[in-house]
Structure formats: structure tokens, C-alpha cells
A and B are shown apart, each in its own frame.
Chain A
Amino acid sequence: MSASFARGTAASEGLACCHICCKLAPATLHECPLCGAPLHMRKPDSIQRTVALLITASLLYIPANILPIMTTTQLGSGLDSTIIGGVVLLIHHESYPIAAVIFIASVLVPLSKLFALAWLCWSVSRRHGRSHQQRTRLYRAAELVGKWSMTDVFVVAILVALIHLGGLLRITPGVAAVAFGGVVIVTMLAAESFDPRLIWDELGDEID
């Protein structure tokens, strides 16, 4: 078992590092002796879980983009707007920086995060064997940017809470707001369930 792990790693000595408290303990304990959290050499079923969550997020991404994220009702007539519609409208109003913020947070970040994590899972399961450093950096980036996608959900909530002027002007949230919040949460869970140590375990292949 330990032969497949690269020399100098905790796993090659049968040790596991607790994810919560960084305590090093024998992996046979199953429970961290300091904080009591479940102890694993590697996150259990990391690739399967990550892929399952990525599929869930991709499915949620469809209603998040097709359905309206909010409805503006002005003097009785309603106007639905989608995420992309909101970006297009901002470009029309020549608010380019804000359009860029929404486009990056709502389109670019979630899509690139989905592709990055999918590629990482694929590369690890195929034992890619190269560019460990770059793949670790890619993972860190995917983990870091994830929560910034919530921007648009917060914007909708603020508009709904603030623009509430009786029959004159009113904004109500759409289904896409919750679906998109779901995309963000599920991709964050996906990033958390991916174990970057699997990238480095490939180094163990060369030693055997």
C-alpha cells in the first residue's frame, strides 16, 4: 500500500494529516486524536464525489441561465431579465466596468471553475504525471475564486429588498437566483471534495 506513495510523504509512513487541525497521526486511528475529526490519508472517493458535484452544478447552471433572475415591475408591466440579459443591458447603459464585473463573476468564473476541476479530475484519474506545480496552482485558483460568483445573487437580493415602491416600481427575484446560488454552493463543495494530494501521488509511480 505505502509503496505507491512518494517517499517523504505522510502517507508513505502510514500517517495522515488532519484536515481540520493539521495534526499528524497514524492513519489506522480513523479519528484525529486532537480534534476528533475523521482522519483519512486521502479524502474518501475524492474523484467520484467531485465529478458528481460537478455534474450537479452543470445541470443547475442551465436553469440559472435560461430562467429569469429577477422581474422588474414598473407601473403594472413586468420585465424579466436573465443573467446574460443583465450584462447586455449594462453594456447598453455604457456601464462597462459593472458589466465586466457581472460577466466575470456570473459567467467566466463558474464556467472556468467547472472546466478546471473537471480537467483536474481527468488528469488525476489518467495519472497525467506532469506539471504538478501548475495543477496545484490551478486548484488553488479554482478554490479561491469560487465564492465571488455569489455577487449577482447578492445584487438581486439588494435590488429586491430596496426597490419595493408599491405599485410604482418593484423588483421580485426569479428562480434563476436560487439556481445560481446553488451552482456556487455546489461548485464550492466540489472544490472542497477534490484532494490536491492526488496530483502529487503520481510522483510515487516513478519510485516503484
Chain B
Amino acid sequence: MPNPTAQRTACIECDLLVSVADVAEGQRAACPRCGHVITSLSEDGHTRSLAFALAAVLLLLMSNAFPFLELKASGLEKVMTLPNSAVELYRDGYATLAVLVLGPIIGIPSLMLATLVALLVPLRQRRPAPWLVPAGRFFFFLNPWSMVEVFLIGVLVSLVKIGAMATVVIGISFWAYVGFAICFTAALSNLDRLQMWREIEACQT
């Protein structure tokens, strides 16, 4: 028995009541007043999201395991890996900076991926799980704080800046991180907030 409020929602940006009852699959519903996209329904959106999320997990693991950048100057060499640079920043007394940087580029994205997989796997099998609601809340709470794409721009700027002083070699981890950024963004863009919560709601009852 569908409850009547389930077919209606309000635009989160202008509060106009909108009926989403007759939005068909493959369609996108925008608020008629302010234009905010309320939902974009797709049949296999969440399956694609899960696939990209799993690929992103693997690529993120890879990007932590190999050299990210390598510096060569006057016969000296310095290899930078992502986890190592955090440890070094912390050891040199820049703990705040370490958290400020590693949080949005690795910490938050990996928490988001773990939560996303924990949500999408049971939802795919339409099986209720006790963690669905808290995981959903946690995921959308973290969402604004991941800065994966911003970090890539930061790396490109650094390469140009260092290029003037020394030779930089781009490591395997850099390419893994680029792949991770693409898969992570694709996993998020195939996700529909309204649809996901409707599925969670359907699993709860």
C-alpha cells in the first residue's frame, strides 16, 4: 500500500510541492519554479553506480600502494607516496595540514565508497539490512566534503611549479588516482538521492 506522501516531494531549493508519481524511467524531473533537478530516474543507474564504486575502490587501493610523484634534483631523489606524505606531514608537526589534505582526498572518499557499497549491494537484492538508514544519512552527510577533482588540479599546478626547480617523474599511483577520480565521479553522478531513499524505504517496510 503506497502512502500518498511517497508520490509527492518538495523542491529542496524553493519548497514547491512536486508530484513525482508519473516520472518514467529515463526521465528527469526538474522543479517547474526554480529549475532544480529533483530526480532523474533510470533503470540501471544504481547498478552502474555500484560498478563504478567497486572500480574506484580498486583504483584507490592502487593509488596508495605505488609512488605518486618522484623528484630528481642534483643527484638526489625523493619518492612521494600518498600515505607516506601524510605520515611525513604529521611527523614534521603539520598534523592539521595532514588532516586538511588527506581527509577530502582519501579519507572521506574511501568512507563514502565503503558506505555506498554497503548501501547498493542489499538494495540491489531488495533485502533489508539494519544499517541502510544510518548508512544513507552518513553518505549524504559526507557528500559535500570530498575534493577528489580539486586535488587533481592541485597536482597539475604543483607539477608546473616544481618543473622550474627540478625534474618530476609521474608515478603509477598518479594514473591510478586519475582513474579513481573518474570512477568516483561516475559512481556519484549515476546515483539519484530520491530514488535511493525510496528504495531504502521500500526495504524497511
Binding site for B on A (CB under 8 A): 5, 8-11, 13, 15, 17, 19-25, 34-37, 90, 93, 95, 98, 101-102, 105, 132-133, 136, 139-140, 147-148, 150-166, 168-169, 172-173, 177-178, 181, 188, 192, 196-197, 199-201
CB of A186 to closest CB in B, whole Å:
13
B151 lies within 8 A of chain A by Cβ: yes
Q: Which residue of A lies closest to B77 (CB)?
A: A165
Interface residues on B, range: 35 or more
A-B contact pairs, 26 of them (CB 8 A): A9-B17, A15-B10, A24-B8, A25-B5, A34-B197, A35-B133, A35-B136, A98-B157, A133-B34, A136-B34, A147-B144, A147-B150, A150-B150, A155-B154, A160-B97, A163-B165, A165-B78, A169-B165, A169-B166, A172-B92, A178-B96, A178-B97, A192-B144, A196-B34, A197-B14, A200-B34
Contact with A along B153-167 (1 / 0, CB 8 A): 111011011101110
Q: A133 contacts which chain B residues (CB < 8 A)?
A: 34-35
CB of B197 to closest CB in A, whole Å:
4
Q: Which of B100, B144, B158 contacts A181 (CB 8 A)?
A: B100
Q: B8 contacts which chain A residues (CB < 8 A)?
A: 24
How far, in whole Å, are A74 and B160 apart by their CA atoms in the complex? 19
How far, in whole Å, are A165 and B80 apart by their CA atoms in the complex? 12
B76 lies within 8 A of chain A by Cβ: yes
Q: A17 contacts which chain B residues (CB < 8 A)?
A: 9-12, 15
Further pairs besides A24-B8, A151-B150, A200-B14: 15, Cβ < 8 Å: A8-B16, A21-B193, A24-B5, A154-B101, A154-B155, A160-B89, A160-B94, A162-B71, A163-B165, A163-B166, A169-B166, A173-B94, A178-B97, A181-B96, A188-B145
Q: A155 contacts which chain B residues (CB < 8 A)?
A: 154, 157-158, 161
Q: Would B151 and A169 count as touching, CB distance under 8 A? A: no
Q: B33 contacts which chain A residues (CB < 8 A)?
A: 200
How far, in whole Å, are A154 and B98 apart by their CA atoms in the complex? 10
How far, in whole Å, are A166 and B140 apart by their CA atoms in the complex? 43
CB of A37 to closest CB in B, whole Å:
6
B88 lies within 8 A of chain A by Cβ: yes
Q: B105 contacts which chain A residues (CB < 8 A)?
A: 154
Q: Which residue of B lies closest to A157 (CB)?
A: B101
Q: Which of B15, B73, B96 contacts A200 (CB 8 A)?
A: B15
**Which of B34, B88, B168, B200 has the most C-beta atoms of chain A within 10 angstroms of its own C-beta?**
B34
How far, in whole Å, are A94 and B72 apart by their CA atoms in the complex? 23
A98 touching B160 in the complex, CB below 8 Å, given contacts A20-B140, A158-B69, A160-B89 = yes
Q: Which residue of B lies closest to A97 (CB)?
A: B160
How far, in whole Å, are A9 and B76 apart by their CA atoms in the complex? 66
How far, in whole Å, are A138 and B168 apart by their CA atoms in the complex? 40
How far, in whole Å, are A19 and B101 apart by their CA atoms in the complex? 27
Q: Which residue of B lies closest to A16 (CB)?
A: B10
Q: Which of B10, B74, B80, B151 contacts A162 (CB 8 A)?
A: B80
